[in-house]
Amino acid sequence: MRIEQLQAFLAIAQTGSFGQAAQKCQVTQSTISRQIQSLEADLGVSLLHRAGVAKLTLGGERLLPHALKICQEWTNATQELADLLAGKQPELCVAAIHSVCAYYLPPMLQEFCRQHPDLQLRVTALGSDRALKVLKDGLVDVAIVMNNRLLTISSEMVVDVLYDEPVEVLMAANHPLAQYKQVPWSELVKYPQVVFKDGYGMQRLVQEHFARQGAALKIAMELNTLDAFRGVVRQGELVALLPQSALIEALSDSTLAIRAIASTPDTDFDLTRQVVLVTTQDRLQIPPIRHFCQLVKALKIPTASSLQEQSFVDQGSLLIAPITSSC
């Protein structure tokens, strides 16, 4: 059974004529006849009396209300899909790491809202692995995260590199490592560390780099907020390896110190994180999602100075909302 057969049946029921039904469906009368014959063959019952005005048989009368429902559902479904492809969707959901929500996205969020006034934009801060999971589960449309090739290897995923960001050492201002302009790797490994919780890409990145250097990472504590990192590190010997954009608030804190990691020929400890935009092939066919991704990719790559300037933007505005952004 095909939808065209049911549509032909309804057209005849409404007009009482094969000829008028053909005009209504914009096909030939012979096509209408074949569709009805095929439908009757599929159902094993005669649907129409063909003498004079086409009238419904008992079987046709029983089928009529069901055919009406099926065709209406089909019309609704095709209209919803047409609206989706035309960009008429109620919301666009984005999951991004905290620093992206606070410092990378703000320059374009309000502009996107102005260009799509009927669309609800939802931006939620999540760890990288969690953000990629909710993207795979269909709960968000776009994820902006630290790259994890194991979670984006699927052919349906579209991954665009946005920028690479150096990782530096956060410590108390009076910490022994603060004496160095660049912390030697041999000294860094001596101290216990505060790391992000499991599910955050930074923990995996730090662990992989320590393993690559043949060193054991001494994890003293796991946290998931930057306020907690600063509060704990400020107390004593614990240090934290964090990306540059996570250290903005610490720059103006006299109780804290930030140092780069020294790179030597022996260690070549070039520790950076790569931030990527991830969505799926099918979502890129939807105009608002495609436009959002284009705007994100067109943003300037954040630098240490630009991030510091951004931290002084009015904290009450939509532009720097770190958890959610709606319009």
Residue 305, pLDDT score? 57
Report, as an integer, the average pLDDT of 212-241: 91
Residues 171 and 267 in one domain: yes
Check whether residue 266 and residue 176 sit in a common domain: yes
pLDDT of residue 86: 67
pLDDT above 90: percentage of residues in the chain: 37
Number of structural domains, the chain? 3
CB–CB of 245/302 below 8 Å?
yes
Among 234, 256, 272, identify where a domain stops.
272
**Do 280 and 235 sit in the same domain of this protein?**
no
Of 85, 101, 118, the residue at which a domain comes to its end is 85
Regarding whether 268 and 169 lie in a shared domain, the answer is yes
Chain-centroid distance of CA 267 in Å reads 36
Query: In this structure, are 267 and 286 located in the same domain?
Result: no
Q: CATH number for the domain including 181?
A: 3.40.190.10
The label of the residue with tokens 């549509």 reads 7
Average pLDDT of the chain to the nearest whole number = 85
Provide the residue range defining the domain that includes 147: 91-162+273-320
CA distances (Å), 187 to each of 52, 137, 175, 239, 255, in order?
99, 43, 12, 12, 21
CA 101/CA 68 separation, integer angstroms: 48
Q: pLDDT tens for residues 263-283?
A: 766 555 578 899 999 999 999
- Please tell me which of 42-46, 52-56, 71-75, 288-292 the model is most confident about, judged by mean pLDDT: 288-292
Q: For residue 326, tell me if it sits in a domain.
A: no
Q: Which residue has the higher pLDDT, 139 or 305?
A: 139
What pLDDT, in 10s, does the model give residues 111-127? 899 999 888 999 999 88
User: Quick one: 200 and 141 in the same domain?
Assistant: no
Q: Tell me the pLDDT band of 245, cut-offs 50, 70 and 90.
A: confident
Residue 87: band (very low, low, confident or very high) from pLDDT cuts 50, 70, 90: low
User: 205 and 283, same structural domain?
Assistant: no
Tell me, yes or no, whether 99 lies in a domain.
yes
Residue 184 domain-assigned (yes or no) = yes
In a domain, 265, yes or no: yes
Asked if the model's pLDDT at residue 314 lies above 60, the reply is: no
111 assigned to some structural domain: yes
Residue 152 DSSP code: S
For the chain, the farthest-separated pair of C-alpha atoms sits apart, in whole angstroms, at 102
- Give the per-residue pLDDT at 303: 63
> What is the structure's pLDDT at 320?
32
Give the predicted TM-score (pTM) of the model. Answer: 0.70
Strand 182-183 to strand 256-261: parallel, antiparallel, or no bridges (unpaired)?
parallel
Reported as a single tens digit per residue, the pLDDT across 166-211 is: 999 999 999 999 999 999 989 999 999 999 988 788 888 898 888 8
Q: Are residues 29 and 51 in the same domain?
A: yes
Whether residues 265 and 202 fall in one domain: yes
Look at residue 325 and tell me if it is in a domain: no
Mean of the pLDDT values across residues 41-54? 83
Residue 53, domain CATH: 1.10.10.10
Q: Identify the pLDDT of residue 316.
A: 33
Residues 233 and 97 in one domain: no
Higher pLDDT, 65 or 300: 65
Q: CB of 210 within 8 A of CB of 183?
A: no
Neighbours of 235 (CB within 10 A): 9
Q: Does some domain include residue 109?
A: yes
What is the pLDDT averaged over residues 226-238?
Answer: 93
In this structure, the answer to whether residues 65 and 212 fall within a common structural domain is no
Q: For residue 45, is it within any domain?
A: yes
C-alpha dihedral (224, 226, 228, 230), degrees to nearest 10 = 140
Residue 219 sits in the same domain as residue 254: yes
| Residue that is last in its domain, among 33, 55, 85 | 85
